[in-house]
Structure 1
């Protein structure tokens, strides 16, 4: 089983920025993303174009803002990589918000793309705090909604609170097949909330729902963050810079 998909090592990069500097510095983070871009990982065309421009010297704000005819990207890259940041600041929701917005904006300037990253960061913070205290959160989705502005991502999460089955969740919320945050993040948060203590069941639910499976599984896996030992043993080796 491959655990490094769609450029997934990006998730380690905000974490390293936090470890070394204590917060997200957007210029530094953008330069790191561009320097360590690995196109063979199957990056989306938009992400690859943005990172190539940054590598060639275009300021990150200009590069990210130029995506989709100047609208900025509302894709899932920010949401896929943001979970370690939420866990890092699990005791400080205000800082989660500030830092998640900064980390998301480097590549995703569209408000929905930023909101997707913010939602996953807060879900990861709630999940991390639950693991540390041993107390399951009473309402993960409600806790996330407390920190989101009006958006399609927020509306999707509000709908998720009323859904009972995975089939309904995929049908109503989307399964990532449109490769936008609003089509992906509400479903992944529903899965995480339903299976917060069972990584295997959560990932299996993503696979069974179809759609952009590696994206939904990456987001859910980042939030829950407790893969079975046999799955960890079968993953591909991490790059040297991650181990360091």
Structure 2
């Protein structure tokens, strides 16, 4: 059955929220035994800034059919909930945008005018890739636009492009190698791309901890330390959300973000998991379905 772009984006956003919300539970000390046993902690599970920002992307695409950067910046700022776990740099930027600041200037203040190279743009972009499913070139272009608002550093943009392309091509059921090869075709040169190329070479390894030891697991909260491993994990488990989640979580690190990225790419979380996840914010659905 043919699906609309809005339906694909919504489905990816739901899956992203499950990965984010469940992954975030394993930062709670009393849930560590469940993590180690690969069993589910008690619900309900609350999502974090990953989902909140992805919801704005979904909303803007539903309203405009494209990334309107000013509209997206306004939505990020309007719906910014400090308690969702935003990083200090992004939190400050969104507060200043609400107060009338120009996101174009504010986003480039970190890193000597180059902007943040964190994983914040990659963590939220999968619904955009799903919107442009089957058109990886357009997914790459739009992902770059979405990244620039808060993460204009070339490495952050490359991370967002890679995840956006991955989400755009995953529904075509590519082979693991073919999946990463196509992502590499669209990812700009740099450290993120080098990491994805290394992930391609590591496809013969099935152990997440070993792969993460080489590729990173998001502990540095940087695009180059996050995206390559998430794409390695997604490539290994395309079409199987549950296995992908546990493999990604097993590597530790920034679990809510890595699982949000992988979940948004793969989609179709178990219904029981979705039922335990906090519902999506109503504001992101008003112009959607």
Query: 1:148 Cα shift?
Result: 1.2
Distance 1:144 1:88, change over 3 A: same
1:44 to 57, 82, 87: 87
Give 2:223's aligned residue: 181
Give the secondary-structure state (helix, strand or coil) at the position aligned to 1:52. helix
- After TM superposition, the score normalised by the length of structure 2 is 0.79
User: Is 1:13 paired with 2:64?
Assistant: no
Contact 2:218 2:254 in 1 (8 A): yes
User: Is 1:77 paired with 2:120?
Assistant: yes
1:151 to 186, 190, 197: 190
Partners of 1:114 and 1:78 in 2: CA distance: 7
Distance 1:220 1:197, change over 3 A: same
The RMSD of aligned alpha carbons is 1.5
User: Is 1:89 paired with 2:128?
Assistant: no
Higher alpha-carbon deviation: 172-181 or 159-168? 159-168
User: Is 1:124 paired with 2:161?
Assistant: no
User: Is 1:231 paired with 2:273?
Assistant: yes
Partners of 2:63 and 2:97 in 1: CA distance: 22
Contact 1:127 1:137 in 2 (8 A): no
Deviations 1:123-145 (A, max 9, x none): 00011333xxxx66761111100
Deviations 1:86-143 (A, max 9, x none): 111112222112111101101101110111000000000011333xxxx667611111
Structure 2: gaps spanning 5 or more residues: 1-21, 23-44
Structure 1: gaps spanning 5 or more residues: none
Higher alpha-carbon deviation: 135-144 or 163-172? 135-144
Higher alpha-carbon deviation: 89-98 or 176-185? 89-98
Give the secondary-structure state (helix, strand or coil) at the position aligned to 1:161. helix
Q: Would you say how many aligned residue pairs link Structure 1 and Structure 2?
A: 240
Provide runs of 4+ in structure 1 moved above 3 Å: 135-138
